[in-house]
Amino acid sequence: MTHENKFGMFVHWGLYAVSGVQDQVYARFDLPREEYEATIHRFNPVDYDPEAWVLLAKNAGMKYICFTTKHHDGFCMWDTKYTDYNIMNTPYGKDVLKMLADACKKHGMLLSLYYSNPDWHHPKGYNPHTSHQWKAVIDGEPDTAVYREFVKNQITELLTNYGKIYTFFWDIPPRIEDPSLNELIRRLQPDIYINDRGWSGGDFSTPEREYAPQQGARFARMTEACNSVGEQSWGYRTNEDFYSLRHLITSIDRIMAMGGSYLLNVGPTSQGTIAPEYAERIRAVGDWYNRMGGTLEGHEEDTYDYGVKNNACIVTKKNGKSYFHFCNGLISSAVAMKNPPSEPKSVRLLNNDARLPANIELLPEFFDGKTGKAYSYLHISEIPVDELVNEAIVIEIEW
């Protein structure tokens, strides 16, 4: 199974947006069930414009949107026939997933679906084998077989009524083996990719938040990392602690240079908008990403030993050119390489599209301790590092 790594937008949206606190506010703040579930009568996203979401993502260079159809609270964001606890029974009363699917199709955006295995509303949702069961209904003896039939019915709706689906994102491994669920997904959507948090093995791994893989090690299997623009919540939070642009861009560059996909999450408001402070971060990251010119997608590992001095980097190749990803930036305004394969034909800094001077020359600070003689290096200079402190730096070389 082949897979081209992509940049995408994760969307966590549900009843929890009304609180403006956190996507798991029901558990984290230990709210009474009747209080939290009554939020269904106040959820009315009258300003929802799925085209605005899709265009925000598309303009940032994103190729797909992963939408939370059902989070741990069990509330369903589509017109499902298997529970009344869904978007159709809010004052809004419209199938927001259908509207998003239509907008994605219109603008050439791939659509992925997230589905939570924990369900704090379903009477048989409790699963003693796994985690995130804090608010689960415990109705007599656990019976995951009953719940699994409910899940099968729901994923049949999701994978039948909303067009072609790119990936399916199970959340919270149930620690119960039941291959029939993934088999059902593949029957309904033969070309789909399924993650590794479901009821049997999937196609791709899903590390999240502050995941720091070994620098430069290529992923051995399909991988989709994810993080949110905010530190405290995946859903909308009124007073969020936002990650720095440098932190997000560093993470995206590292993961994608290693061959992975990356989902950057936003949490829309209860009115259905992506708040300005969230959208601004998507645009800022997208500005950097678009300047990379597609080099982060569909590349190969460049295994040649260039002998880069004093700066950690990941090297990829695409269309006959090498790309040096300095995910954490540079320590000076130059890059030195001990073992260039030849004189470069051209050297370009993708961050600002500038052609950089590159010469093989003696660099006096890099010398043989026995003889005192300087070594020859490929010296790439005049890099405006102080102007790029919030960015991963990427240099393109055609040899």
Check if the beta carbon of residue 245 is closer than 8 Å to that of residue 342.
Answer: no
Task: Please report which confidence band the pLDDT of residue 33 belongs to, taking 50, 70 and 90 as the band edges.
Answer: very high
Tell me whether residue 2 is in a domain: no
CATH code for the domain of 329: 2.60.40.1180
Could you give the residue ranges of the DSSP H alpha helices within the chain? 25-28, 33-37, 50-59, 96-106, 144-158, 180-188, 245-257, 276-291
CB atoms within 10 A of CB 82: 16
Pick the more confident residue, 210 or 37. Answer: 37
Query: Which residue spans within the chain are E strands per DSSP?
Result: 7-11, 64-70, 110-116, 167-171, 193-194, 224-228, 261-266, 300-301, 314-318, 321-326, 335-337, 346-349, 354-355, 358-367, 374-380, 393-398
Q: What is the mean pLDDT of residues 6-21?
A: 98
What was the pLDDT predicted at 217? 76
Range of the domain at 136: 7-291
Task: Please report which confidence band the pLDDT of residue 3 belongs to, taking 50, 70 and 90 as the band edges.
Answer: low
Beta bridge partners of 170: 115
Dihedrals φ, ψ of 372, to 5°? 80, 0
Q: What is the pLDDT of residues 179-201, one digit of tens each?
A: 999 999 999 999 999 999 999 99
| End-to-end CA, the chain | 32
Task: Please report which confidence band the pLDDT of residue 223 belongs to, taking 50, 70 and 90 as the band edges.
Answer: very high
What was the pLDDT predicted at 41? 98
Task: Please report which confidence band the pLDDT of residue 2 belongs to, taking 50, 70 and 90 as the band edges.
Answer: very low
Domain boundary among 243, 270, 291: 291
What was the pLDDT predicted at 166? 98
Environment class of 393 (CB within 10 Å of its CB; exposed 0-12, middle 13-18, buried 19+): buried
What was the pLDDT predicted at 1? 32
Residue 103 has pLDDT above 70, yes or no: yes
Same domain flag for 278 and 309: no
Same domain flag for 341 and 243: no
Tell me whether residue 112 is in a domain: yes
Domain boundary among 241, 266, 291: 291
High-pLDDT (> 70) share of the chain, %: 98
Contacts for 351 with CB less than 8 Å, ≥ 6 apart: 288, 291, 388, 391, 393, 394
What was the pLDDT predicted at 293? 96
Place of tokens 């992963």: 66
Check if the beta carbon of residue 241 is closer than 8 Å to that of residue 232.
Answer: yes
Query: Nearest 5 degrees, angle CA 164-CA 165-CA 166?
Result: 120
Tell me whether residue 1 is in a domain: no
Specify the number of domains making up the chain. Answer: 2
Q: What is the pLDDT of residues 231-269, one digit of tens each?
A: 999 999 999 999 999 999 999 999 999 999 999 999 999
Same domain flag for 86 and 103: yes
Cα–Cα distances in angstroms (integers) from residue 115 to residues 31, 85, 165, 197, 392, in the given order? 23, 15, 13, 10, 33
Tell me whether residue 252 is in a domain: yes
Dihedrals φ, ψ of 169, to 5°? -110, 95
Q: What is the pLDDT of residues 336-383, one digit of tens each?
A: 999 999 999 999 999 999 999 999 999 999 999 999 999 999 999 999
Task: Please report which confidence band the pLDDT of residue 4 belongs to, taking 50, 70 and 90 as the band edges.
Answer: confident
